Amino acid sequence: MAVILEKDLPRGREALHQWYEAAQEVAAAASDPTQRLAVSPKLPRPVWAMAVRYSLFLLERRVPGPGVEVRVAPWGAVKILDGPESDPHNLTPPDVIELDPDVWLRLACGITAWAEEKEAGRISAVGERDDLSGLLPLVGPAR
């Protein structure tokens, strides 16, 4: 099942842009660079949900494959990258990365870096391919 419906792509794009803009404002106001790890704009829940779904869609489109599952509960999960698939008895691939929505969106928008969030203990990753730093950010000045 797709992480976002095709008819919702424009809404998702707008939600991610809205989250990015709001997060940039919050991050710019932070006096200490470590405060970027707490950036979490006050936006309606539906905006967060669509921003997460659309950003996961962008990731899946960039590096499709069955090898790594990226989960951002409660709004979505995608499988990316080539590699071993899940076995028929266990639908979970050997590599799984779990993130909270605020962590995922900070990474996807380039507010924080993978190493920062990992060091802060905000990324749960199991498997050999537990680092998405080369694929992020998905939006923002670096992309």
How does DSSP classify residue 97? E
Say what the pLDDT of residue 67 is: 87
Residue ranges of the chain with pLDDT lower than 70?
1, 84-93, 141-143
Domains of the chain: 6-135 (3.30.1050.40)
Tokens 């829940």 found at: 45
> For the whole model, what pTM was predicted?
0.92
Q: Could you tell me if 118 and 141 are in contact, meaning their C-beta atoms sit under 8 angstroms apart?
A: no
| Helix, strand or coil, per DSSP, at residue 58 | helix
